[in-house]
Chain A
Amino acid sequence: MPDSALLAAALVCAVIGMSWLALAMDVHWDQVCDAPGSRRSIVVLRMLGASSLLGSLVLCLVADTATMAVLVWMMLLALAAVSVAFVLSTRPRILALLVGVSWRSCEPSSP
């Protein structure tokens, strides 16, 4: 796989991972879904988020040398976090897709 595709995949993993970590926080979960999140779902979301970020790091390491990959990953995380914050501030319901909740059953509250 070309390096550019690996880095694109790393960015996607970082964004998805940050989204899961955001949904594991009560305040952001409430932005996306009216139904309260369970303790178990929070743990699962945290594990999924951490795994996805780890996957992002692995993809960076495959694409580049370790020293370069660490820097790319660090900056991708920042970019992903900002992207998730802007999605939550404008179109929070998009993140409902990541928890397998249909849009209709998870009416978003105002940001």
Chain B
Amino acid sequence: MFANFRLSLTWLHTWFGLTLGFVLMVAFFFGSLSVFDREIDRWSLPDTRIEPQPMPSFDSILASRFAMITEPDTDQRDEAAKRVTAPLPGKLTARSWNAYTTHRDPVLLMYVGFEVPNSPLPEDTVYGDITIDPRDGRVLPEDRLALGSGFFYPMHYSLHITWHDLGYWIVGFAAMMMLVALVSGVVMHRKFFREFFTFRPGKRLLRSTLDLHNLTGVVALPFHFLWALSGLIIFAAIYFPVFETSLQPLVDQHEHEEAMHTGLDAKPSGVPGRLASVDAMMKVAKDHWASRGVPGEVGFLSVTHVGNSNAYVSIYRDSTDRVATAEGLHFEGSTGRVIFEDPPAGPIETVNAFLTGMHLQQFKHWTLRWLIFAGGLLSCACIATGFIFFVEKRKHVHAKQGRVGATCVDALAVTTVTGIVVATMFMLVMNRVLPEELARRGVWEKGAFWVAWLATLLHAAWRAPAVLQGRLSKAWAEQCRVIVLLGVAAVALNALTTGDHLGRTLGAGYWPVAGVDLLLLAAAGTAAIAARRLRQRAGDPRTELASIEEAERA
């Protein structure tokens, strides 16, 4: 089929990179934003602009709030109703109570797992959740959307396509092909290693774009590889659900033996029981961590078999000082006695916990957090320059032949590179413009994002005929100008509607909001420079001629 192995890899890299690059762009762009999801939450929910809080008292606050969560989210219940073999009862039984916080959370997420009876899936569970102010237990309004953790983060791994987990599968397939694209890219551009640090911005667009594509791809190669791989590992159970299918008997046996070993019953006893003081258990856990000389705040608290005599409480140390997650103490619910402490992880578990923790980034290390954010932007730059190179290499040939391939790719590239930033910033602007008392405010904000993104696609398609004539689409520069306007507008609107202008937030050292404002201004500044360069390039008559010659050589 191909003359040699390298040409086969070139085909693979080009076409899989192109088709899945659009998905990868979304995954990496929103993944980068998710590095600061809690900070974006604070920006979008001004009522929660308070300092991070430790896990509050279970006995006086959390227990009563858990009791308020009496049913799962409607969406989850409706989905469960479709997969059960008999109608769901009106009231589902709570299986677990869970509360989760990090060193960056001023609010506390609480969720209850409910048993799904008559389900073909083992341990089928649906969830209901609330978010509270941990200082006084006040339940926060449900219809307010936390843009960072509630929209950008799920977009990163699921594209918000929930039907049969299709979004997870699309992103997973794209991540797997990214691993292939990285290997094939290294083979294709192997000569690059002899001129590793080459970037020639003064050269023509085709050459400088390829330089930047190679540079951003290679210098951050370990980052690209590890993050794509760890993303796949996190959702491995979805992609390979063997534990629920062919290995189910083995899982049941292991669960039984583990329960015998740890004393943590796998099934509820069915006999009513009461909980001892969980606050006392938290104190025991903290004292235990203090005796080991490690930071000791509670990050995750879980009560399993709620209301049963064999209920147990699991308390996990937060992950401020390490990459790996999960390190728990388990208590007998009725007495508060320590039943079991998680033993040191084995080699496979350690690697898994490291890769998972690296991807989820619950550690307290702001330098590393910023470096990972920069790594995500390098990935975006690598993908974007791949699109531009594809178009620049083909547009003149396609123009001569009257083919629309390069034109379509250019329109989609504009939509996924500048369009995605426009839609994100428009969502932030709408977050500050929509009335606070507006019912289902979050739905309006989500709608604003999708409408803005669709508008950028239509705009790119409208400007695309220029590519058909072998010229640069004006959509790139125009959307860059929109980014400038939206970025400045978002910062100004935040100052006007909340009073938290940069002078105040920087003065007070309140970095969650100041950081988002500064990033918005940095994005606006970068877009302004890009718009200016694009205008200069479009106005230079030598550019097109040289571009044609270079494309023909390529």
In the complex, which residues of chain A have a beta carbon less than 8 angstroms from the beta carbon of B322?
65, 67-68
In the complex, which residues of chain A have a beta carbon less than 8 angstroms from the beta carbon of B371?
71-72, 75-76, 78-79
A interface, how many residues as a size bin? 20 to 34
Contact among A26, A65, A74, A89 for B199, CB-based, below 8 A: A89
Which segment of B83-91, B218-226, B261-269 sits at the interface? B218-226
In the complex, which residues of chain A have a beta carbon less than 8 angstroms from the beta carbon of B219?
77-78, 81-82, 85
A103 at the interface (CB under 8 A from B): no
- A78-B198 contact given A65-B321, A72-B365, CB 8 Å threshold: no
- State the Cβ distance, B385 to closest chain A Cβ, in Å: 13
In the complex, which residues of chain B have a beta carbon less than 8 angstroms from the beta carbon of A72?
365, 367-368, 371
Contact with B along A73-98 (1 / 0, CB 8 A): 01111110110111011100000000
With most chain B CB atoms within 10 A of its CB, the pick from A4, A22, A28, A78 is A78
In the complex, which residues of chain B have a beta carbon less than 8 angstroms from the beta carbon of A7?
367
A37 at the interface (CB under 8 A from B): no
With most chain A CB atoms within 10 A of its CB, the pick from B196, B202, B324, B363 is B196
Which segment of B169-177, B274-282, B372-380 sits at the interface? B372-380
Complex: A31 Cα to B500 Cα, angstroms: 48
In the complex, which residues of chain B have a beta carbon less than 8 angstroms from the beta carbon of A34?
none
**Interface residue ranges of B347-380 to A (CB < 8 Å):** 354, 358, 363, 365, 367-368, 371-372, 374-375, 378
In the complex, which residues of chain A have a beta carbon less than 8 angstroms from the beta carbon of B200?
89, 111
Q: Is the CB of B197 within 8 A of A74?
A: no
Q: Is the CB of A82 within 8 A of B215?
A: yes
Complex: A17 Cα to B363 Cα, angstroms: 28
In the complex, which residues of chain A have a beta carbon less than 8 angstroms from the beta carbon of B321?
65
Q: Is the CB of B222 within 8 A of A74?
A: yes
- State the Cβ distance, B236 to closest chain A Cβ, in Å: 21
In the complex, which residues of chain B have a beta carbon less than 8 angstroms from the beta carbon of A89?
198-202
- State the Cβ distance, B390 to closest chain A Cβ, in Å: 22
Contact with B along A1-26 (1 / 0, CB 8 A): 00010010000000000100110011
Residues on A lying within 8 angstroms of B by beta carbon are 4, 7, 18, 21-22, 25-28, 64-65, 67-68, 71-72, 74-79, 81-82, 84-86, 88-90, 111
State the 8 A-B residue pairs at the shortest beta-carbon distance, nearest first: A75-B371, A81-B219, A85-B197, A27-B195, A78-B220, A67-B323, A89-B199, A22-B197
Q: List 22 A-B contacts (CB under 8 A).
A: A18-B197, A22-B196, A25-B194, A27-B194, A65-B322, A67-B322, A67-B324, A71-B358, A72-B371, A75-B368, A75-B374, A77-B219, A78-B219, A78-B222, A78-B223, A78-B374, A78-B375, A79-B371, A81-B215, A89-B201, A90-B201, A111-B200
